[in-house]
Amino acid sequence: MSDTMGSLQHSRPRLRHGQVFASLISTDEKGTILFETTDGTRQVSLPRSAAMILPLLDGTRTIPDILETLGRSEQRVSFKEFFGLIQKLQTQGCLDGAEALQTAAARSRTEMFERESLWITRPIASFDISGTNGGVNEPSVLAFVLFSLGTLIVTLSFILGSLGLGLVQIPAEFLKIDGSYVKGLLFFFVAASILITVKTILKTILSLLLTGFRSPLKLELGLFYFALRSHDDKIYMAGGRALGTLAFSAVASSYFFIFALASAVAPHWTRLDDVFWISAILALMDMNPFRKSDLSSYFNIVFNQKSAAQLLPYLRNRGLLDLKPGSQSDDTLIYSAYSTMAIVWTMLAYNLLLSLINRNDSVIAVQWVSAFKNGPIAELLASTLLGAAILLSFFYLVIDLVRTVLRNISWPTSSERAEKRALKKTTINVLENVEALAQELAHLPLFAGLHPDALLFLLSKGQSRSVPKSTHIVVQGGPSTELFILIEGEVIVQKHHSTGACEEITRLRAPSVFGENTLLANVVRSADVISAGNTRVIAIPRSAVDQLLHHPTLKTEAETLLDRLILGQHITSSPLFKDAPAELISLFFNEGRVVDVGTGRHIIEQGRTDKDFYLLIRGSVDVVRSGLIVARLHQGDFFGETALIMNTPRTATVLSREPCRLLKISCEQFWRILSQHASMALYLESVSETREGVA
């Protein structure tokens, strides 16, 4: 483990100063709460059970201390839930002291909705106007509902009425005022500033009515506005899903409030069309389903659950007809609702931009040519800027759509193409100094205890390969025909999930071994292995391993190698581990120590305070609690995690039913692994949930 990363075992996470907001309506334990930093710049939606964890994140307790405290409380919080919580707080900038969890994989899992907003919408500068100074008013749900419905009725009635009567059409000279695009761009800047400010004020009023708290306000300067802004999302969770949905609908429609007002006061105003379409453009920006926006924040808070965290990669990387939600009806509803909104948003954005281009391309071109010949320079710049903005926005959508389609089309053939590219880039070399190399590799866990002649036999059958940077060595979904020894460089192990998301599992540095877990089982590879730089590997074919395991004189010397390969084979075929990356077992095997015990031996004794963790390579054991056998574990199972994770005495006795071979991992080694691969902790407990935690 890198020293700079720190160990989870000794980490003392400290929550930044802030306050917690709970739903005014829902008291369900499965509901949500919202943590907000004191300055109002960071907000994180959390499960309601997090309320008992947050006070413990005070910087004085280590993670084992916190888990021990939780374990002794009446309401135990699972290890998986705890890790998910602190990962989320860490990646959202609300927690210090848990940097070991700040990985790219963690960020990709934590908030798939909360990706950076589009660059054009980000502020250039911002100035704090007011912060959150506690409750300033008694919340009134009735007043909130009336105000929200009033906003919706007013805006929607004017929008639908104007569209139905054909009073609002995409103008042929959009933002060309008195023959000048300079005036048009100034009008857009002023109008956008007013519309954003009005929307912010309405959102702030709604939040005050529903929560009783004043939203923190900022004065922001952007590329096309200078306005009041509020990034306060408490409004979406304070009243549960129903009121959250009402709040989002009212906020989304509030961009058209000025249009509705202008339509009532001055229905014949010549700039009314421009106001409407500026409002539409701003609303589309704030409802981008693929970036951080009001829509993504609303869904992230209101539907804060596992399925919601997978929607963004699903929508960006999977075909619409390949919908495979979870088993619960709520999951189906979320997938369907968000997919529908994403489709509608994309269609509206395309239609708007295409219409603007078709209705204005020739007008902008004529104005540009005229300004280029006759001036003034300001008019030339203005027409260039407007034309470029419309075209670039359209091309952004086209490129995004093409990338999504290509990913869906190319996925079935991606493995084959990756293998062909790798063959072209990889150079095969003669393997030299085999004896010296065997001595260097003898300390690797896979080969530890292997007779030197057996290792020499394997190397003699191997092939040395030089692999350039960013080249596949192993392709997920490809056949398991070789095991690899990394002797120079570094490789990245990454797994593609069914949602389209790609998760980095780990990085391996030379010398190390990979690809062995699926070798004997001859099943498809469970992950990609890609060179992080120029690397050199030795590829040993499966036939060489088979020959060694059946060699007349070396077979008995290959016991350790056989243990590792059989364990990998069992893991890949076991329903218990079917969703785990094969690299999980490699991580533990590299740190552990193989031990043998006879029949009827106590491996763990109830009440003892030792903290070792065990993987069962061969044999079977009985789990005995208070004199009764409560479980029977077999090859590939693990035990001992409960006392280690919760820092409590052993909760059961584990007895060997027959001669057993075990992989023993100490407490320090266990935490060292989790410090580098915290996601493994979440997986271990998801397996434990299928049975009661053992010892």
> Would residue 586 count as lying in a domain?
no
**How high is the pLDDT of residue 122?**
80
DSSP class of residue 577 equals G
> Would residue 465 count as lying in a domain?
yes
Q: What is the dihedral of CA 30, 31, 37, 41, to 10 degrees?
A: 120
Comparing 225-239, 564-578, 585-599, which segment has the lowest mean pLDDT? 564-578
Last residue of a domain, one of 74, 91, 110: 110
pTM above 0.85, yes or no: no
- Let me know: does 587 contact 680? Beta carbons within 8 Å: yes
Same-domain pairing of 453 and 392: no
Comparing 19-28, 158-167, 186-195, 589-598, which segment has the lowest mean pLDDT? 19-28
Same-domain pairing of 406 and 483: no
In the chain, the amino acid numbered 507 is R
Same-domain pairing of 20 and 53: yes
Mean pLDDT of the chain: 76
Q: Distance between CA atoms of 85 and 83, rounded to whole angstroms?
A: 5
Tell me the pLDDT tens digit for each residue of 490-542: 998 887 765 455 667 777 888 888 887 666 666 678 788 999 999 999 999 88
> Would residue 258 count as lying in a domain?
yes
> With b meaning 16 or more CB within 10 Å and e meaning fewer, what string describes 568-582?
bbbbbeeeebeebbb
- Let me know: does 151 contact 257? Beta carbons within 8 Å: yes
Nearby residues of 323 by Cβ (< 8 Å), 6 or more positions away:
335, 336, 339
Strand 621-625 versus strand 653-656 pairing type: antiparallel
Report the length, in residues, of the chain: 695
Average the pLDDT over 94-122 and give the result. Answer: 59
**How high is the pLDDT of residue 86?**
79
Q: Distance between CA atoms of 551 and 451, rounded to whole angstroms?
A: 13
Token reading at 98: 């848990």
Same-domain pairing of 230 and 151: yes
Tell me the pLDDT tens digit for each residue of 371-384: 888 878 998 999 89
> Would residue 587 count as lying in a domain?
no
- Let me know: does 598 contact 616? Beta carbons within 8 Å: no
Same-domain pairing of 338 and 235: yes
Same-domain pairing of 106 and 131: no
User: Strand, helix or coil at 79?
Assistant: helix
Q: How far is CA 129 from the centre of its chain?
A: 33
In the chain, the amino acid numbered 408 is N
Q: Distance between CA atoms of 247 and 371, rounded to whole angstroms?
A: 46
Strand partners, 125: 221
> Would residue 693 count as lying in a domain?
no
Range of the domain at 355: 119-412
Helices assigned H by DSSP within 580-660:
583-591, 641-646
Give the residue among 491, 486, 517, 516 at the shortest CA–CA distance from 505. 491
Same-domain pairing of 609 and 542: no
Give the best-scoring range by mean pLDDT among 37-41, 160-164, 580-584, 599-603: 599-603
Tell me the pLDDT tens digit for each residue of 636-645: 677 887 777 6
Tell me how many domains the chain contains.
4
Most distant CA pair in the chain, distance: 99
> Would residue 233 count as lying in a domain?
yes
Last residue of a domain, one of 79, 110, 141: 110
**How high is the pLDDT of residue 30?**
54
Give the residue among 431, 425, 491 at the shortest CA–CA distance from 462. 431
CATH code at position 660: 2.60.120.10
- Let me know: does 628 contact 596? Beta carbons within 8 Å: no
Token reading at 331: 């999951």
Give the best-scoring range by mean pLDDT among 41-45, 116-120, 223-227, 267-271: 223-227
Same-domain pairing of 220 and 368: yes
Token reading at 529: 């292995």
In the chain, the amino acid numbered 324 is K
Q: Could you count the other beta carbons within 10 Å of the beta carbon of residue 99?
A: 15
Token reading at 380: 């030339």
Name the strand (E) or helix (H) holding 271: none
> Would residue 665 count as lying in a domain?
yes
Same-domain pairing of 442 and 462: yes
Nearby residues of 116 by Cβ (< 8 Å), 6 or more positions away:
122, 291, 292
pLDDT for 206 beyond 50: yes
Q: Distance between CA atoms of 343 and 271, rounded to whole angstroms?
A: 30
pLDDT for 307 beyond 60: no
Same-domain pairing of 560 and 647: no
Give the residue among 21, 20, 19, 18 at the shortest CA–CA distance from 210. 21
Same-domain pairing of 158 and 269: yes
> Would residue 536 count as lying in a domain?
yes
Last residue of a domain, one of 51, 79, 110: 110
Same-domain pairing of 86 and 165: no
Give the residue among 535, 573, 646 at the shortest CA–CA distance from 73. 646
**How high is the pLDDT of residue 111?**
40
